A and B are shown apart, each in its own frame.
Chain A
Amino acid sequence: MSTFKFGESRQAPESTSVTTRLARQAYAQYDQSVQMMDRRGFVGTVLSASALVLGVCVRPTEASAAPAAWQPSVYLGFEADGTVVIMAHRSEMGTSSRTTLPMMLADELEADWKKVRIEQALGDEKYGSQNTDGSCSVRDFGEAMHKAGATARLLFERAAAQKWGCQPGDVMASQSTIVNNKTKAKLTYVELLPVVATLPVPKESELRYKTPDQYKLIGKKVPMVDERSILVGKAVYGMDAKMPGMLYAMVERPPVYGGKVKSFDNSAALQVKGVKQTVELPGFKPPHLFQQLGGVAVLGDSTWAVMQGRKQLKIEWDNGAHANYNSVDEKKYLMDTVLKPGKVVRNRGDVEAAFAKSAKTHEANYYAPLLAHAPMEPPVAVAEFKNGKVETWCSTQDPQAVQASVAAALGIQKTDVACHVTLLGGGFGRKGQPDYAVEAALLSKAAGKPVKVVWTREDDLRSGFFHTVSGMHMKAGLDADGKLNSWLFRSAFPPIASTFAPGEQYGMDVETGMGLNELPYDVANLRSENCPAPNHVRISWLRSVAHVYHAFAIHSFLDELAAMNNTDYVSYVLKTLGPDRHIDLTKDGTKPWNNGMPVEKFPIDTGRLRRVLEMAAEQSGYGKKKATKNRALGIAAHRSFLSYIASVVEIEIDENGKLTIPNVWTVADVGKVINPDRVVAQMEGAAVFGTSVAMMGEITAMNGRIRESNFHNYPVARMTESPRKVHVHLVPSRELSAGAGEPGVPVIAPAITNAIFAATGKRIRELPVRRTKLV
């Protein structure tokens, strides 16, 4: 049993990089924990994870006691009837992590997939990081899945050999059965269970892994395990979770970040039929982390009752320090700030000297607004506080963050918070911040009953965590022949860091390491600077995070430089990329963030970037078709989440300036692909998500209040606004599996605006595009 503990200082997952570091520390533990667990560990695991189905079984302390079932790893168990139980410890929000990781284990185990049941794991440190973000489920846990599967399979092979009195080499596993190669006799895994649990655990060096030609699931189209239940309306999301005797609750939260309740009158609210009580929630203590915002909650016996009751509250607010926050002023601040030097996060050569000597220079400033995640299922959690412990059913990307946050709010131990993870109706980063679970737990304690906190869409857009707003400044120096000799890149954005350190104005390595300090181009003089910006709302990560705005600026600027040189993006970038090589950021004084992974394993490989760019150009006919004023192609190629993606977007603009997208071609090199159809689906979805970002997404504040409230004024792409066709090509690769959920997003916005430039000559430097008249 793992005795590993995450760092005591860990209040919440501070960043993707911290998560990754923690996951890797935990990883060292899997090397042991994948092997046999002791009895205590087993009971703890199984009873907490799935008491109803696996609770009866323990590994015997005496060899004579035949077990009814067996659990050789935290991720794997067997029931007495032969059902293979695989623990899904990552959250399912549509990327198919609940299918893809278990299918890796099942394949390596040579289990019959039809007899596998997936159990969703409770939040528990023993699984390693469960923070389903950073496009890292396969990357960080694929190896552990293989190891668990290979360990159990070897034990079945040895158990069979022992029974038959032959050598392990004489037997072969096939679909939950061991076959004797000589006698053709068969023993099923379930028949071997009593023997297998008595055998010593093999050493890692004894494990033999399947070769790719032996895979039966990996590399194939495997449907999501929840597909059927989704299509008949039986799948359980957080919104569908219920606990016996629970009350419903909605919270009227401070309209301004950091605001507090001065006084309130609940008399009218309590008159509403079905409303039982109101509870004042205190505000957070800085840093806000994933704490509750505070406000007044209305509790009652139906969603409708508390929705009506909340409208009747009369609250006087102390709006606090951010009551003058306006997006218009913030934009001006950011665009001014990036004209001044910032903190250097990468430097090569001397850009200023190079600019002075350049034949030409070019400058451009870019802006991207605040965004909301707007998952179709708004945040929701149900929790019960009882006897000093909390049990919660929660739509969360990170059940361990739920444990930590709820425990901190209630002054109990993390291990006294049992977090069940439901399916997520979308996450996109928002559901890694479990403030809503904290609210549910606090309200349950106050009410003495289980409480389900439901956020409305208005709550989600006004009181959520936001993708940050950014200003960026670019300056390039060119030789007389157009060659790029120097590049200055400045970026200012209220950082995610402010969620963990109050008032922090500079990005953490996650943010600067996503696009700002890792330009892969062959430029003699290069400087990246991060300029300060204070936060006035809660900032978190949204699908592809800082790449959203950095990629927009980088690839727009490259397109501008190409146009200055009377060429196109592809020709110019191929030249600027230089020879195929691995980029060493340390030479420029930069510690590579690299999604927390060592560059030896995941180098910044310009050859892979070049290849996807060339392939996307080829497949789309980029450069061959001439742009017209109402139809054109735009392209961008970008490395993010250790993957290499190029997308070409074809746009059409009608006489009224309405833009449509007939085609997107995406070429993705994400390393080794496990479940190809699901990776294709992620790229298709990313093209739509990127279209929302580019064309329409914008959250604004006036007097500290968020102005957008629902899909009428915070539109997201609908069917006819989305790319009509998305042609996805996955590059066959034997490289390590990298990210798939996020890296399809960053290229879309610049590809769209580059296409608009090709069609109209208008250079869009501010998102969203809908703010600009195209004709």
Chain B
Amino acid sequence: MIELKVNGQPRKFDGDGDMPLLWYLRDELALTGSKFGCGMGLCGACTVHVNGEPVRSCVTPVRTLAGKEITTIEGLSANGTHPLQLAWQEHAVAQCGYCQTGQIMQAAALLKKTPKPTDQQIDAAMDRNICRCGTYTRIRAAVKTAAGVKA
């Protein structure tokens, strides 16, 4: 039995501890905002926060999460009002939108640690997430807007 918190709610997990967090979230908790893109931690579509750190949930076994606090896109803000979600809207970032929840979670972790990131810091963090539609210029602009740094 593994006890953990997901978006503030205590959860008990007694399945296969090798199962990646992503499938626990998606298949069991019906939190489908975290996406499956590669299963190897390469694309970032599944990014969630574990104790505030950005983590690739597709390669994070549930057994490593005892006592941890998980935040998914569904728990990032009450009504989708996180500054990044608002900035994403302002810049009309999304095209297909599939990767964007992972992008936002990745950016949220960056801004938590580095509230005023430099271009290099944004690049270093966001280079780990793939957007096949190619919305990168708007992602960068939206991160800067949310952080209140000059575009």
Residue of B128, B129, B135 ringed by the most chain A CB atoms within 10 A: B135
Interface status of A637 (Cβ within 8 A of chain B):
no
Contact flags (1/0) for B99-119 with A, using CB distance below 8 Å?
A: 111001000000000000000
Cβ contact within 8 Å between B33 and A724: no
Which listed residue (B36, B88, B127, B129) contacts A378, Cβ 8 A? B36
Interface status of B35 (Cβ within 8 A of chain A):
yes
Which listed residue (A228, A240, A376, A458) contacts B96, Cβ 8 A? A376
Interface status of B138 (Cβ within 8 A of chain A):
yes
Given A239-B32, A711-B40, A304-B96 contact (CB < 8 Å): no
Given A239-B35, A303-B23, A711-B38, A230-B100 contact (CB < 8 Å): yes
Cβ contact within 8 Å between B23 and A376: no
Given A232-B74, A304-B16, A688-B136 contact (CB < 8 Å): yes
State the interface size on chain A (CB cutoff 8 A): 66
Contact flags (1/0) for A268-284 with B, using CB distance below 8 Å?
A: 00000110000000000
State the interface size on chain B (CB cutoff 8 A): 54
Cβ contact within 8 Å between A94 and B97: yes
Can you name the residue of chain A whose Cβ is closest to the Cβ of B24?
A: A304
Can you name the residue of chain B whose Cβ is closest to the Cβ of A725?
A: B137
Cβ contact within 8 Å between A231 and B94: yes
The residues in A between 689 and 720 inclusive whose CB is less than 8 angstroms from any CB of B are 689, 710-712, 716-720
Cβ contact within 8 Å between A428 and B73: no
Given A226-B97, A725-B137, A231-B89 contact (CB < 8 Å): yes
Interface status of A322 (Cβ within 8 A of chain B):
no
Contact residues in A for B139 (Cβ distance below 8 Å): 719
Which listed residue (B38, B72, B88, B123) contacts A233, Cβ 8 A? B72
Interface status of A684 (Cβ within 8 A of chain B):
yes
Given A232-B73, A376-B43, A716-B130, A710-B38 contact (CB < 8 Å): yes
Interface status of A71 (Cβ within 8 A of chain B):
no
Residue of B27, B79, B126 ringed by the most chain A CB atoms within 10 A: B27
Interface status of A375 (Cβ within 8 A of chain B):
yes
Interface status of B134 (Cβ within 8 A of chain A):
yes
Interface status of B67 (Cβ within 8 A of chain A):
no
Can you name the residue of chain B whose Cβ is closest to the Cβ of A222?
A: B92
Can you name the residue of chain A whose Cβ is closest to the Cβ of B119?
A: A724
The residues in B between 39 and 72 inclusive whose CB is less than 8 angstroms from any CB of A are 39-40, 42-43, 45, 72
Can you name the residue of chain A whose Cβ is closest to the Cβ of B135?
A: A685
Interface status of B132 (Cβ within 8 A of chain A):
yes
Q: Closest Cβ of chain A: how far from B42's Cβ, in Å?
A: 4
Q: A712 to B42, alpha carbons, bound, how many Å?
A: 7
Q: Is the interface of A mostly helix, strand, loop or mixed?
A: loop
Contact residues in A for B31 (Cβ distance below 8 Å): 233
Q: Closest Cβ of chain B: how far from A690's Cβ, in Å?
A: 9
Cβ contact within 8 Å between B98 and A233: no
Cβ contact within 8 Å between A685 and B98: no
Interface status of A456 (Cβ within 8 A of chain B):
yes
Can you name the residue of chain B whose Cβ is closest to the Cβ of A686?
A: B134
Given A240-B32, A684-B137, A688-B134, A231-B88 contact (CB < 8 Å): yes
Cβ contact within 8 Å between A227 and B42: no
Q: A248 to B72, alpha carbons, bound, how many Å?
A: 23
Interface status of A243 (Cβ within 8 A of chain B):
no
Q: A457 to B132, alpha carbons, bound, how many Å?
A: 13
Which listed residue (A92, A227, A304, A717) contacts B23, Cβ 8 A? A304
B-side residues, CB < 8 A to A, are 16, 19-20, 23, 26-28, 31-40, 42-43, 45, 72-74, 79-80, 85, 88-89, 92, 94-101, 104, 123, 126-140
A-side residues, CB < 8 A to B, are 92-96, 221, 223-224, 226-228, 230-237, 239-240, 248, 273-274, 302-305, 374-378, 423-428, 454, 456-458, 677-678, 681-682, 684-689, 710-712, 716-720, 722-726
Ranked nearest first, the 7 interchain pairs of A and B with the lowest CB-CB distance are A233-B33, A688-B134, A425-B98, A94-B95, A94-B96, A230-B97, A685-B134
- A-B pairs with beta carbons under 8 Å apart, 15 shown: A94-B94, A232-B79, A237-B35, A376-B43, A376-B96, A425-B97, A456-B39, A685-B95, A688-B131, A689-B132, A710-B38, A711-B38, A719-B127, A719-B129, A719-B136
